[in-house]
């Protein structure tokens, strides 16, 4: 079993293995390239398609961005991300259509064992010791708004039309059509017609 296969089967994996470092390296180099380009450069946004798993035809990243793998992330149509998007996509990440990220949003589809000895359990004959990791997928539905400074942890699903308030740490599922916020993030109330701001047009 390869180290990447271990990720997808829910096993502990060696993130420092050459196999995984080689996969990540492509995304890291292309993120550097993207971040160095002017936002009006017509060649900037197409850089995303060179490393992403898949993405719709219409999307925008303000940048800077940092993806860990890139190829483990799958994004729908009409995606928008503001400054400082960080995506640790060791586990696969699925993002629906018409999703918006505020500044400083982080998706963290990887973690380490809590027991210290287990974090150092991967010891190899050549003397190499790796900090063990395991990863769970993140699923974000359609029409979701993730406000600024939100962290979404692995294993979380966020339902369609949900809004995650600023500064939230999301460690549990959020139902569709709900406003949720806090640390830890919790569903606060359904979003209803009373929330309409069409009168401001």
63 and 39 in contact (C-beta within 8 Å)? yes
User: Which stretches of 81-187 are DSSP H helices?
Assistant: 116-119
Tokens of 122: 């991967």
Task: Kindly name the residue from 25, 112, 128, 139 that is annotated as catalytic.
Answer: 112
160 and 143 in contact (C-beta within 8 Å)? yes
Cα gap 17→123, rounded to integer Å: 12
DSSP 25: H
Q: Is 112 a catalytic residue?
A: yes
User: Quick check: helix, strand or coil at residue 150?
Assistant: coil
Burial 96-110 (b: 16+ CB within 10 A, else e): bbbbbbbebbbbbbb
Catalytic residues, by residue number, are 112
């Amino acid at each position: 079993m390869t180290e990447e296969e271990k990720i997808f089967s829910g096993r502990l994996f060696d993130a420092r293995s050459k196999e995984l470092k080689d996969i990540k390296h492509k995304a890291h180099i292309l993120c550097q390239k993207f971040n160095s380009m002017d936002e009006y450069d017509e060649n900037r946004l197409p850089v995303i398609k060179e490393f992403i798993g898949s993405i719709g035809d219409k999307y925008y990243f303000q940048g800077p961005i940092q993806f860990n793998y890139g190829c483990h992330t799958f994004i729908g149509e009409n995606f928008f991300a503001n400054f400082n998007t960080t995506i640790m996509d060791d586990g696969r990440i699925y993002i629906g259509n018409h999703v918006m990220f505020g500044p400083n949003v982080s998706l963290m589809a990887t973690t380490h064992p809590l027991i210290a000895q287990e974090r150092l359990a991967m010891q190899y004959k050549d003397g190499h010791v790796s900090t063990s990791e395991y990863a769970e997928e993140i699923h974000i539905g359609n029409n979701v708004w993730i406000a600024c400074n939100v962290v979404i942890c692995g294993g979380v699903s966020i339902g369609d039309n949900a809004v995650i308030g600023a500064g939230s740490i999301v460690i549990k599922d959020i139902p569709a059509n709900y406003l949720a916020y806090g640390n830890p993030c919790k569903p606060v109330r359904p979003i209803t017609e009373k929330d309409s701001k069409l009168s401001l047009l």
